[in-house]
């Protein structure tokens, strides 16, 4: 950190700053490490009575996180996807249930596991890059 030059924090003529690349990569590493704990038991021993969509989707994210380690900007749609689905969940399901007072242990866990991520991802995603490449271009 001590040797951090302005170019570490500023993007200059690059797409995003080096700091941002590391933040995005850290997110991928975190998911790469956590993913197997979330989905692997179900994927290895699929219970026929369980629908299995969630575990498959988590496993799909896990594969994408490998691509993201190398070049996180290339998989920006996956970051956006994470941001969008968790925001939809929070607005359409999480918050209405919370406000209605119909709380359950399940909801508290989901609010933590899903509901906190829109805020976290809002900080992680390089919105300037998204604006330049996915909206203005």
Partner 1 sequence: MASTAASVSPPPERAAEGEVSLVRLYVLRATYLLLVVGLGAVIVPPLVSHELVARGVIPSLLGAVWLLAFLGLRYPLQMLPLLLFELVWKTIWLFDFGLAQYLSGQRPPTFAEDSFNIALGVILMPLVIPWPYVWRHYVRRAGARWR
List of residues contacting partner 1 (CB under 8 A): 14, 18, 21, 43, 46-57, 59-61, 63-64, 67, 69-78, 80-81, 84-86, 88-89, 92-94, 96-97, 100, 102, 106, 110, 114, 133-134, 137
The number of angstroms, rounded, from the C-alpha of 50 to the middle of its chain's C-alpha atoms is 24
Q: Least Å distance between CB 33 and partner 1?
A: 18
1 vs 106, beta carbon nearer partner 1: 106
Q: Least Å distance between CB 92 and partner 1?
A: 6
Q: Least Å distance between CB 88 and partner 1?
A: 4
49: alpha, beta or left? (left if phi > 0; alpha if psi -120 to 50) = alpha
Question: How many beta carbons lie within 10 A of that of residue 33, not counting itself?
Answer: 11
CA-based torsion, 42, 46, 107, 119: positive or negative: positive
Q: Least Å distance between CB 47 and partner 1?
A: 7
2 vs 106, beta carbon nearer partner 1: 106
33 vs 91, beta carbon nearer partner 1: 91
Q: Least Å distance between CB 15 and partner 1?
A: 8
84 vs 122, beta carbon nearer partner 1: 84
Angle of the 18-44 helix axis to the 53-70 helix axis, nearest 10: 150
Distance CA 111, CA 136 (A): 33
Cα torsion at 42, 97, 27, 133 (round to 10°)?
A: 120
């Amino acid at each position: 950190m001590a040797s951090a030059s302005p170019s570490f924090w500023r993007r200059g003529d690059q797409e995003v700053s080096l700091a941002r690349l590391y933040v995005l990569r850290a997110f991928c590493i975190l998911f790469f490490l956590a993913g197997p704990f979330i989905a692997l038991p179900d994927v290895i021993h699929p219970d026929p009575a369980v629908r299995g969509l969630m575990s498959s989707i988590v496993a799909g994210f896990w594969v994408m996180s490998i691509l993201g380690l190398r070049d996180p900007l290339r998989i920006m749609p996956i970051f956006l996807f994470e941001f969008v689905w968790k925001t939809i969940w929070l607005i359409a399901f999480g918050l209405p249930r919370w406000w209605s007072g119909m709380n359950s242990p399940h909801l508290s866990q989901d609010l933590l596991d899903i509901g906190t991520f829109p805020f976290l991802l809002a900080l992680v995603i390089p919105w300037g890059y998204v604006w330049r490449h996915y909206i203005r271009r």
